[in-house]
Structure 1
Amino acid sequence: MYLSIKGLAKSFGENEVLKDVNVDIQKGEVVSIIGPSGSGKTTLLRCFNGLEDPDKGLFTFHDGQILNFEEKMNKRDIVQFSRRSGMVFQAYHLFPHKTALENVMEGPIIVQKRNKAEVRQEAETLLEKVGLKDKMNFYPHQLSGGQQQRVGIARALALKPELMLFDEPTSALDPELIGEVLTVIKDLVKENWTMIIVTHEIQFAGEVSDKVLFMDGGYIIEQGTPDEVLKSPKEERTKRFLQRILHPSIEV
């Protein structure tokens, strides 16, 4: 077991966004999260890497670190927790005044205080990995949306995280650019990265995932293999969602 989450809950004021979320993630597992807008998918992802503090919930990691969000925790534990993951955002979030190479180098140098020459070499390798070796000195405004997102993936990988998090990585892209980003993610799947992917690309989720979670109303309504959740869902809410999105032949 890489990570076990029990009883996770998160509210913003009176709005309960996550309610008693329970999920186990294995090392090397690809978990896709699907569901309607406003179901809590992005908030769940942000709780995984410390961008949001849960109101309650127990996180247990493979190396023995335990975080109980109902108790006061020291800063060191929170920092260690947040550094376990690398995040790829929906809207890229690149530094506009830095080149692609500088964007990838920023985290390891500033956050991890690593050697600049070593980081540069690794950043160049990562940009080549995502097909952007010839664009490393370009600024974000000189790149397409798909290229910017691939820089975002390289930037997250540069931190050498244990867990890769993707928040709807193709939703801001034109249809013709989606494939280039999904291809990069598929290559990472082959390398056995542990990944959690919030996506509306249902077919893609079916192809790459070991586990699919369907969320609605702040709950995980159903979870299982892609065949179990996407082809033979048990819950009526899952069936209705898939019928609207992908499978009009599913009887509701």
Structure 2
Amino acid sequence: MRMWLVFVLLLWRVDVDAAPTTLSPVEHPVEHAVEHFDHIITNGYPATLGQAPYIVGLLMRAGAAGSWCGGSIIHHNWVLTAAHCTDDMDSTTIFYGATRRTEALFSVNVSAEHIIQHPKWPQSIGNDIALIRTPHVGYWSLVNKVALPPLSERHNSYVDAMATTCGWGSTSDGSPLPEWLQCVDLRIISNQRCSRSYGRLPASVLCVDTPDGRSICDGDSGGPLVSHQQPPTLLGVTSFSDASSCSSVAPAGFTRVTAHLEWIKEVSGVAY
């Protein structure tokens, strides 16, 4: 049996000089660009324009070094991401409204004092969650929030529910980050089943099945796992996968959002 210490946290180290640029949609129209992209996540698919208006790209800076992660807009002033993305970071640049990674509609810079990690990270992998306080961001078709589960759902395991995760993470082990946002639909499984691969997991972890190697990879950390129900609801924050390979059939792990609704409310005031 594998123990959970063999998982890998899925951030991507980058050269900060190679950060995505902030471009206007008028200068770079991309409405029809998706038809030119192949399915470069195994059995996944390229996102359509505006499919995930709640996702943001995060360039996390620590001195001259940096790492790439994802995040989710949960309010005009708040982004939710993985705590391990924010470890020892000095600042982050948040890229809004991108489908093509290097063509964000706009970006904002946020200093470390506005990054709030869960107080019990890193004592438990189930606390791999952080909030980023941002300047006020208005909503429109390509930039919008994702709903959090209501407090009444905090004991729902969502086992067997289908969910979608998206990101600009690697499309195979060691590959460069893709330009176009990629998504994959996966089924939520029980923690008991997930523990067969990683050893005992806390209830604040949520796992998905990864048939045929469909999974998350380096650079997807912090991104959203969203329900298929309407409105789309944020169920998980991308956290870890099998260290041996992104295409492993071992489950992929997320921080369970319902386990942290009270903490999110306490810090940000956001609750349903």
TM over 0.5: same fold? no
Larger radius of gyration: 1
Instruction: Give me the TM-score of the superposition, normalised by structure 2.
Output: 0.25
Structure-1-length-normalised TM-score: 0.26
Q: Which structure features the higher share of strand residues?
A: 2
